[in-house]
Structure 1
Amino acid sequence: MAFFGKYLEVVPNARIVWTNEESDNGAVTTVTFEEKDGKTLLVMRERYPTKEALDIAIEGMDEAMPEVFEQLDAFLIARGASAGRP
Protein backbone atom coordinates (compact mmCIF):
# COMPACT_ATOMS: atom_id res chain seq x y z
CA MET A 1 0.00 0.00 0.00
CA ALA A 2 1.32 3.43 -0.90
CA PHE A 3 1.28 6.22 1.66
CA PHE A 4 1.17 9.94 0.89
CA GLY A 5 1.32 12.93 3.19
CA LYS A 6 3.56 15.51 4.74
CA TYR A 7 5.36 16.01 8.03
CA LEU A 8 3.76 18.69 10.17
CA GLU A 9 6.17 18.48 13.10
CA VAL A 10 9.44 16.67 13.78
CA VAL A 11 11.10 16.92 17.18
CA PRO A 12 14.11 14.57 17.19
CA ASN A 13 13.85 11.81 19.80
CA ALA A 14 10.49 13.14 21.03
CA ARG A 15 7.64 13.60 18.51
CA ILE A 16 6.66 13.17 14.85
CA VAL A 17 3.37 14.37 13.35
CA TRP A 18 2.31 13.66 9.76
CA THR A 19 -0.72 13.65 7.50
CA ASN A 20 -2.06 10.58 5.73
CA GLU A 21 -3.38 11.83 2.40
CA GLU A 22 -4.20 8.60 0.57
CA SER A 23 -7.89 9.62 0.59
CA ASP A 24 -10.22 12.30 1.91
CA ASN A 25 -10.59 10.16 5.05
CA GLY A 26 -6.90 10.35 5.95
CA ALA A 27 -5.81 10.77 9.54
CA VAL A 28 -3.23 12.97 11.18
CA THR A 29 -0.79 10.66 12.97
CA THR A 30 1.19 11.69 16.05
CA VAL A 31 3.95 9.49 17.46
CA THR A 32 5.72 10.37 20.70
CA PHE A 33 8.82 8.79 22.23
CA GLU A 34 9.48 8.94 25.96
CA GLU A 35 12.29 7.32 27.93
CA LYS A 36 11.02 5.24 30.85
CA ASP A 37 13.29 3.08 32.98
CA GLY A 38 15.93 2.84 30.26
CA LYS A 39 13.41 1.88 27.56
CA THR A 40 11.51 3.91 25.01
CA LEU A 41 7.74 4.21 25.32
CA LEU A 42 6.24 4.79 21.87
CA VAL A 43 2.69 6.18 21.75
CA MET A 44 0.90 6.43 18.41
CA ARG A 45 -2.32 8.39 17.99
CA GLU A 46 -4.40 8.99 14.88
CA ARG A 47 -7.03 11.69 14.47
CA TYR A 48 -9.63 11.04 11.77
CA PRO A 49 -11.83 13.69 10.15
CA THR A 50 -15.08 11.77 10.86
CA LYS A 51 -16.41 8.81 12.84
CA GLU A 52 -17.07 7.06 9.52
CA ALA A 53 -13.41 7.49 8.50
CA LEU A 54 -12.33 5.99 11.83
CA ASP A 55 -14.68 3.03 11.38
CA ILE A 56 -13.22 2.32 7.93
CA ALA A 57 -9.65 2.54 9.25
CA ILE A 58 -10.34 0.20 12.17
CA GLU A 59 -11.35 -2.56 9.75
CA GLY A 60 -7.79 -2.89 8.42
CA MET A 61 -5.77 -2.22 11.57
CA ASP A 62 -5.54 -5.84 12.72
CA GLU A 63 -3.50 -6.61 9.63
CA ALA A 64 -1.68 -3.31 9.15
CA MET A 65 -0.38 -2.49 12.63
CA PRO A 66 1.72 -5.64 13.17
CA GLU A 67 3.42 -4.96 9.83
CA VAL A 68 4.09 -1.34 10.80
CA PHE A 69 5.80 -2.40 14.03
CA GLU A 70 7.75 -5.19 12.33
CA GLN A 71 9.12 -2.60 9.92
CA LEU A 72 9.98 -0.28 12.83
CA ASP A 73 11.78 -3.16 14.60
CA ALA A 74 13.80 -3.91 11.45
CA PHE A 75 14.69 -0.24 11.06
CA LEU A 76 15.82 0.07 14.67
CA ILE A 77 17.83 -3.15 14.55
CA ALA A 78 19.58 -1.96 11.40
CA ARG A 79 20.54 1.18 13.33
CA GLY A 80 21.92 -0.84 16.25
CA ALA A 81 18.96 -0.66 18.68
CA SER A 82 17.40 -3.75 20.21
CA ALA A 83 13.79 -4.62 19.55
CA GLY A 84 12.67 -5.21 23.13
CA ARG A 85 9.06 -5.91 22.23
CA PRO A 86 7.53 -9.29 23.12
Structure 2
Amino acid sequence: MKNYTTVERESERALVVTRTFNGPARIVFEAWTQPELFKRWWVPKSVGLTLLSCEMDVRVGGGYRLVFAGNPEPIAFFGKYLEVTPHSRLSWSNDESPDGTITTVTFEERGGKTRVVVHDLYPSKEALDAAIASESTGGFPEQFEQLDELLQMWTTK
Protein backbone atom coordinates (compact mmCIF):
# COMPACT_ATOMS: atom_id res chain seq x y z
CA MET A 1 0.00 0.00 0.00
CA LYS A 2 1.36 3.40 -1.03
CA ASN A 3 1.85 6.05 1.65
CA TYR A 4 1.25 9.68 0.70
CA THR A 5 2.67 12.88 2.10
CA THR A 6 0.41 15.86 2.69
CA VAL A 7 1.78 19.39 2.99
CA GLU A 8 -0.67 22.00 4.25
CA ARG A 9 -0.51 25.56 5.38
CA GLU A 10 -2.23 25.37 8.76
CA SER A 11 -2.19 29.10 9.55
CA GLU A 12 -0.40 32.31 8.55
CA ARG A 13 2.77 31.06 10.26
CA ALA A 14 2.50 27.25 10.29
CA LEU A 15 3.17 24.51 7.77
CA VAL A 16 2.17 20.92 8.57
CA VAL A 17 3.48 17.82 6.79
CA THR A 18 1.94 14.40 7.50
CA ARG A 19 2.77 10.87 6.41
CA THR A 20 2.29 7.33 7.70
CA PHE A 21 5.28 4.99 7.53
CA ASN A 22 5.28 1.19 7.62
CA GLY A 23 7.25 0.50 10.76
CA PRO A 24 7.23 0.99 14.50
CA ALA A 25 7.76 4.43 16.03
CA ARG A 26 11.03 3.30 17.60
CA ILE A 27 12.61 2.67 14.21
CA VAL A 28 11.14 5.77 12.54
CA PHE A 29 12.36 7.91 15.47
CA GLU A 30 15.86 6.43 15.13
CA ALA A 31 15.92 7.42 11.45
CA TRP A 32 15.40 11.02 12.61
CA THR A 33 17.95 10.92 15.42
CA GLN A 34 20.86 8.73 14.25
CA PRO A 35 23.21 10.68 11.94
CA GLU A 36 24.22 7.63 9.88
CA LEU A 37 20.53 6.95 9.11
CA PHE A 38 19.42 10.59 8.78
CA LYS A 39 22.08 11.22 6.10
CA ARG A 40 20.61 8.44 3.98
CA TRP A 41 17.19 10.04 3.49
CA TRP A 42 17.14 13.73 4.46
CA VAL A 43 18.41 15.33 1.23
CA PRO A 44 16.04 14.98 -1.74
CA LYS A 45 18.09 13.28 -4.49
CA SER A 46 16.54 15.47 -7.18
CA VAL A 47 18.06 18.70 -5.78
CA GLY A 48 21.63 17.53 -6.37
CA LEU A 49 22.96 18.68 -2.99
CA THR A 50 25.72 16.84 -1.18
CA LEU A 51 25.51 16.56 2.59
CA LEU A 52 29.13 16.95 3.71
CA SER A 53 28.57 16.45 7.42
CA CYS A 54 25.78 15.69 9.88
CA GLU A 55 26.32 16.24 13.60
CA MET A 56 23.48 15.50 16.02
CA ASP A 57 23.53 15.68 19.81
CA VAL A 58 19.92 14.61 20.29
CA ARG A 59 19.10 15.75 23.83
CA VAL A 60 17.37 18.83 25.21
CA GLY A 61 19.89 21.65 24.80
CA GLY A 62 22.02 19.59 22.42
CA GLY A 63 22.67 20.87 18.95
CA TYR A 64 22.69 19.75 15.36
CA ARG A 65 24.65 20.98 12.36
CA LEU A 66 24.17 19.95 8.73
CA VAL A 67 26.75 21.18 6.21
CA PHE A 68 26.03 21.00 2.48
CA ALA A 69 28.37 21.55 -0.43
CA GLY A 70 27.66 25.05 -1.73
CA ASN A 71 28.84 27.25 -4.53
CA PRO A 72 31.29 28.72 -3.72
CA GLU A 73 31.14 28.08 0.05
CA PRO A 74 29.55 25.29 2.10
CA ILE A 75 26.09 26.03 3.54
CA ALA A 76 25.31 25.17 7.17
CA PHE A 77 21.97 24.59 8.87
CA PHE A 78 22.05 24.39 12.64
CA GLY A 79 20.07 24.76 15.83
CA LYS A 80 19.27 23.33 19.24
CA TYR A 81 17.01 20.51 20.37
CA LEU A 82 14.20 21.93 22.49
CA GLU A 83 12.33 18.71 23.29
CA VAL A 84 13.31 15.05 22.95
CA THR A 85 10.80 12.40 24.00
CA PRO A 86 12.07 9.08 22.62
CA HIS A 87 9.87 7.48 20.01
CA SER A 88 7.13 10.12 20.26
CA ARG A 89 8.31 13.75 19.90
CA LEU A 90 11.21 15.93 18.74
CA SER A 91 11.43 19.71 18.61
CA TRP A 92 14.30 21.91 17.48
CA SER A 93 15.16 25.46 16.51
CA ASN A 94 16.48 26.37 13.07
CA ASP A 95 19.00 29.08 13.95
CA GLU A 96 20.83 29.71 10.67
CA SER A 97 18.76 32.79 9.82
CA PRO A 98 16.54 35.35 11.55
CA ASP A 99 13.59 33.71 9.76
CA GLY A 100 14.35 30.31 11.27
CA THR A 101 11.50 28.05 12.27
CA ILE A 102 10.72 25.94 15.28
CA THR A 103 10.16 22.41 14.03
CA THR A 104 8.18 19.84 16.03
CA VAL A 105 7.83 16.26 14.87
CA THR A 106 5.46 13.76 16.46
CA PHE A 107 5.52 9.99 16.00
CA GLU A 108 2.28 8.11 16.68
CA GLU A 109 2.32 4.33 16.35
CA ARG A 110 -0.78 2.31 15.54
CA GLY A 111 -0.79 -1.28 14.42
CA GLY A 112 2.91 -1.37 13.54
CA LYS A 113 2.69 1.81 11.44
CA THR A 114 3.82 5.27 12.49
CA ARG A 115 2.08 8.52 11.65
CA VAL A 116 4.62 11.34 11.49
CA VAL A 117 3.49 14.96 11.71
CA VAL A 118 6.03 17.73 11.08
CA HIS A 119 4.91 21.15 12.31
CA ASP A 120 7.05 24.13 11.20
CA LEU A 121 6.26 27.38 12.98
CA TYR A 122 7.69 30.42 11.18
CA PRO A 123 8.38 33.74 12.93
CA SER A 124 6.01 35.62 10.60
CA LYS A 125 3.56 35.22 7.74
CA GLU A 126 6.14 36.82 5.45
CA ALA A 127 8.79 34.24 6.41
CA LEU A 128 6.44 31.35 5.55
CA ASP A 129 5.37 33.08 2.32
CA ALA A 130 9.06 33.44 1.35
CA ALA A 131 9.79 29.77 2.15
CA ILE A 132 6.87 28.63 0.02
CA ALA A 133 7.83 30.98 -2.84
CA SER A 134 11.43 29.71 -2.81
CA GLU A 135 10.14 26.12 -2.85
CA SER A 136 12.30 25.29 0.18
CA THR A 137 9.27 23.58 1.72
CA GLY A 138 8.67 21.39 -1.34
CA GLY A 139 11.15 18.61 -0.61
CA PHE A 140 9.13 16.74 1.99
CA PRO A 141 7.34 14.32 -0.38
CA GLU A 142 10.64 13.18 -1.91
CA GLN A 143 12.43 13.09 1.45
CA PHE A 144 9.67 10.96 2.91
CA GLU A 145 9.76 8.59 -0.10
CA GLN A 146 13.47 8.15 0.62
CA LEU A 147 12.72 7.54 4.30
CA ASP A 148 10.10 4.95 3.30
CA GLU A 149 12.73 3.17 1.17
CA LEU A 150 15.22 3.18 4.06
CA LEU A 151 12.61 1.83 6.47
CA GLN A 152 11.65 -0.94 4.03
CA MET A 153 15.27 -2.04 3.78
CA TRP A 154 15.72 -1.84 7.54
CA THR A 155 12.53 -3.65 8.56
CA THR A 156 12.91 -6.49 6.03
CA LYS A 157 16.42 -7.49 7.18
Q: TM-score, normalised by structure 2?
A: 0.45
Moved more, 1-10 or 13-22: 1-10
Q: List runs of 5+ in structure 2 lacking aligned partners.
A: 1-67, 69-75
Percent of pairs with identical residues: 55
SS at match of 2:120: strand
Aligned-pair Cα RMSD in Å: 2.1
Relative contact order, higher structure (CA 8 A, sep 6+): 2
1-structure distance, mates of 2:142, 2:95: 20
- 1:55 is paired with a residue whose SS is helix
- For residues 77 and 142 of structure 2, the distance between their equivalents in structure 1, rounded to whole angstroms, comes to 14
Q: Which blocks of at least 5 consecutive residues in structure 1 are unaligned? A: none
Q: Which residue of 1 aligns with 2:117?
A: 43
Match of 1:27 in 2: 101
Query: What SS is found at the alignment partner of 1:8?
Result: strand
- Any runs of at least 4 consecutive aligned residues in structure 1 with deviations exceeding 6 A, and if so which? none
Provide the rounded CA distance (Å) in 1 between the counterparts of 2:118 and 2:89: 10
Q: Which has the larger radius of gyration?
A: 2
Q: Structure 1 length normalisation: TM-score?
A: 0.76
SS in 2 for 1:6: strand
Give the aligned partner of residue 69 of structure 1: 144
Query: 1:49 is matched by which residue type in structure 2?
Result: P
